[in-house]
Structure formats: C-alpha cells, structure tokens
C-alpha cells in the first residue's frame, strides 16, 4: 500500500511541479527540433504567418509543422491568433531562440538534451554495474558542442576575453605558438587562426570524427597556420613548448584531468599562459541549491561528463567539480592562478587565467 502523505497540500504542490517538469521536458525536445529545422529562424524572418506560409518558407512538411506549432503555442513560446489562424514569434522570445542572436541562443543548448537521452539505456546499466559510456555513443555531440562553444567562446574570445591579459593580443599579432586541448570540431581555433595569421595554432582532440571535420574546414578556409591532431593527451608529445594553452569546457570530461593539467604546465613556456574555461559552480552541493542551472548541470554530469571519463577508467570528476576543486587542481599542477572571471555574455562559465611557475 502507498504511504498516505502527511501533508496533502505539499503533495498536491509537488504534483503540479511534476506536471511542469513533464511539460518543460517535452518542450525542450520540441525547441531542439525548432532549432535544427530552422523553424525559429523562419518565424523570425516572416513575422506573422499562417501554417502554410511557415511550412513553405521553411521547406518543411506541413503536418509536422502544425503539430510543432501546437506545442509552441500551448507552451507560450509562440503566439497564435485563432481568428486569422496566424502564428507569431515575439521578438522578446526570438532573442533566445534564433541564430540571429547567436550568443543568447538557448535553443542550441536544448539540442544537447536529445543527444544525452540517446544513451539513457546505457546509463541505466552503469547505475547497476558501474563503468561508463564512451564518446562514440553520443552521435552528433561534437556538432552541438561546437555550436555552443562558438557562441560562448569563439564570438567573444578576441573582443572580450583575451584583452584581459596584458599584451596577449599583441603577441598573437606578432606570432606565437598556441595549443587548444580538447578542441572538438575546431571552430574556436579556426576563428583564431583566421584572425591571427602570424601565429601557429594546434588543436588536439581524442575523437577522430571532429578532427576530420576541423581539418576539412581548415582546408576550405585555406588556413595554413592551424593543424588538428587526433591524440590522447597523456601520450601527446609536442615538438616544442607553447606561449598559450587553452582548454574550453573540457578538463572535467577527461579521464585523468590532474595528469593533463600537469602536462599542460610542462608544455608551457616559462612566460606562457594557460586559459581554462569551465562551469561556474561550487564543488559543494549546498552552495549550488540556488544556482539557476543546477539541475541541468548535474544531469549533464550524469548523462555525459562523468560517464565519458569513467568509460576510460578515469576519475569521473563530473561537470560540477566546482571552482574550489578547479583552483586546487590548477595549483597542484604547478600553475599560479592569476584571476578567475565570469563574463556577461557567458555567466554559466568561469575563465581561469593562469601563469607558469616552477
């Protein structure tokens, strides 16, 4: 027999919360579809339009678009005029849903949820037997991650982030050696290579697929100052040391982040700098209870970040390793932590500026 709740009002409130969770979870998938199919962009372009006009403008099947619009209207994301049978995406919502506003586009983040969900069966087995799920089971993960990284980092690195290190832009203009670890499909590095033709950029990535994509794009852009290498960071042997090493949203995914950080310290020139971007959260659960993205971050850890590390026999550090643990591990690796910053364009992440010390 089920237990009778001691507080029925509390039970009813939680039932309402569950309804909201189920509706929001469903809408997340539909938002991802709207992003991938270009429906939000189409609606943003046409203003107010009928179902037929929207489907035709987006070159999509009308029946599917109708059902998608039903979810968007009932979810209060798109407005509907029943008398005219027209749909409208408010500009206040479009800011967070369209590619026109790349930096604020949360629809791109929503596209990560279906990527994670595809491994749910495997994660359930891990709950029972331990172990992890490898990168090769995540389908289009690197494609989605590349889009998110480009919006957070690539579009802001030169204008907002690198200028915080005195003289660094001048060094890049004159020509230095730069290493990006866990470079994914290389979007950030390609942007830097195009902007600073006098510098040499090297990206290292464990997974073969995104490296192939990055190489193709470098060839398409005719960039001869960037190269991408498919390698495990623990076996990677650079021919020379670097002036700048970057790690964007990657350290907590690694099997042995402590060893990789120590190697980054070794690979850096005496006057070189290390820039690490990682999640802005605490290492302690009680400090994250009011974090606006806390459930999302712990879910990301369970369904991806922790498990891909455990799949390699690693530490399973997890997404929410936190600023306390991150600072501790950087100093243990030999770095001097100069500054930890967050930026208005990316409040979800911390940027750790480090120098080399013996």
CA–CA separation, 169 and 161 (whole Å) = 10
42 in helix, strand or coil? helix
Q: Do domains 8-102 and 115-356 have the same CATH topology?
A: no
Q: Give this prediction's pTM.
A: 0.91
How many other C-beta atoms lie within 10 A of the C-beta of residue 198? 11
Q: Which residues of 283-297 are buried (b: 16+ CB within 10 A; e: fewer)?
A: beeeebeebebbebb
CA 138, 297, 331: angle at the middle one, nearest 5? 100
Residue recorded with tokens 């480009």 = 150
CA–CA separation, 306 and 168 (whole Å) = 33
Residue 3 DSSP label: P
Structure tokens belonging to residue 351: 């940027």
To the question of domain 115-356 being in CATH 3.40.50.10540, the answer is: no
pLDDT in tens, the chain (358 residues): 667 777 889 999 999 999 999 999 999 999 999 999 999 999 999 989 999 999 999 999 999 999 999 999 999 999 999 999 999 999 999 999 999 876 678 999 999 999 999 999 999 999 999 999 999 999 999 889 888 888 878 778 998 999 999 899 999 999 999 999 999 999 999 999 999 999 999 999 999 999 999 999 999 999 999 999 999 999 999 999 999 999 999 999 999 999 999 999 999 999 999 999 999 999 999 999 999 999 999 999 999 999 999 999 999 999 999 999 999 999 999 999 999 999 988 889 999 999 986 5
- E-strand ranges in 37-169 read 48-50, 79-81, 86-88
Domain ranges of the chain: 8-102, 115-356
DSSP letter string over 135-203? Answer: GGGSTTHHHHHHHHHIIIIITTIIIIIGGGSTTHHHHHHH--EEEEES-TT-HHHHHHHHH-TTSEEEE
CA–CA separation, 297 and 289 (whole Å) = 12
CATH architecture of 8-102: Orthogonal Bundle (1.10)
Element (H, E) at 29: helix 8-37
Please state whether beta strands 268-279 and 335-343 pair in parallel, antiparallel, or not at all (unpaired). unpaired
Using only C-alpha atoms, the chain has a radius of gyration, in whole angstroms, of: 22
Strands laid side by side in the 346-356 sheet:
226-230, 200-205, 177-181, 242-248, 268-279, 346-356, 335-343
């Amino acid at each position: 027999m089920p237990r009778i709740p001691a507080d029925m009002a509390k039970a009813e409130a939680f039932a309402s919360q569950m309804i909201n969770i189920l509706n929001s979870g469903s809408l997340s998938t539909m938002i991802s579809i709207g992003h991938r199919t270009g429906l939000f962009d189409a609606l943003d372009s046409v203003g107010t339009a009928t179902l037929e006009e929207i489907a035709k403008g987006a070159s999509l099947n009308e029946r599917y678009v109708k059902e998608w619009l039903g979810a968007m209207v009932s979810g209060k994301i798109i407005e509907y005029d029943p008398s005219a049978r027209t749909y409208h995406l408010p500009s206040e919502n479009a800011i967070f849903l369209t590619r026109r506003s790349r930096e604020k586009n949360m629809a791109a983040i929503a596209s990560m949820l279906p990527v994670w969900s595809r491994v749910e069966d495997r994660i359930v087995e891990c709950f029972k037997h331990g172990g992890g799920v490898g990168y090769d089971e995540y389908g289009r993960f690197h494609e989605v991650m590349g889009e998110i990284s480009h919006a957070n980092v690539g579009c802001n690195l030169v204008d907002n982030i690198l200028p915080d290190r005195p003289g660094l832009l001048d060094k890049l203009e004159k020509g230095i050696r730069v290493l990006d670890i866990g470079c994914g499909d290389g979007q950030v590095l390609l942007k830097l290579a195009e902007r600073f033709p006098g510098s040499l950029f090297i990206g290292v990535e464990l997974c073969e697929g995104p490296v192939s994509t990055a190489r193709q794009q470098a060839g398409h852009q005719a960039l001869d100052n960037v190269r991408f290498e498919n390698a495990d960071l623990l076996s990677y042997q650079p021919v020379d040391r670097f002036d700048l090493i970057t790690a964007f949203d990657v350290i907590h995914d690694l099997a042995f982040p402590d060893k990789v950080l120590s190697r980054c310290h070794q690979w850096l020139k005496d006057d070189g700098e290390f820039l690490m971007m990682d999640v802005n959260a605490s290492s302690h659960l009680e400090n994250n209870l009011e974090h606006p993205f806390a459930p999302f971050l712990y879910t990301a850890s369970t369904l991806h970040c922790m498990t891909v590390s455990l799949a390699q026999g690693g530490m399973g550090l997890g997404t929410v390793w936190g600023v306390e643990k991150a600072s501790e591990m950087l100093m243990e690796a030999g770095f001097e932590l100069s500054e930890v910053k967050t930026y208005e364009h990316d409040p979800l992440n911390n940027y750790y500026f480090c120098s080399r010390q013996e």
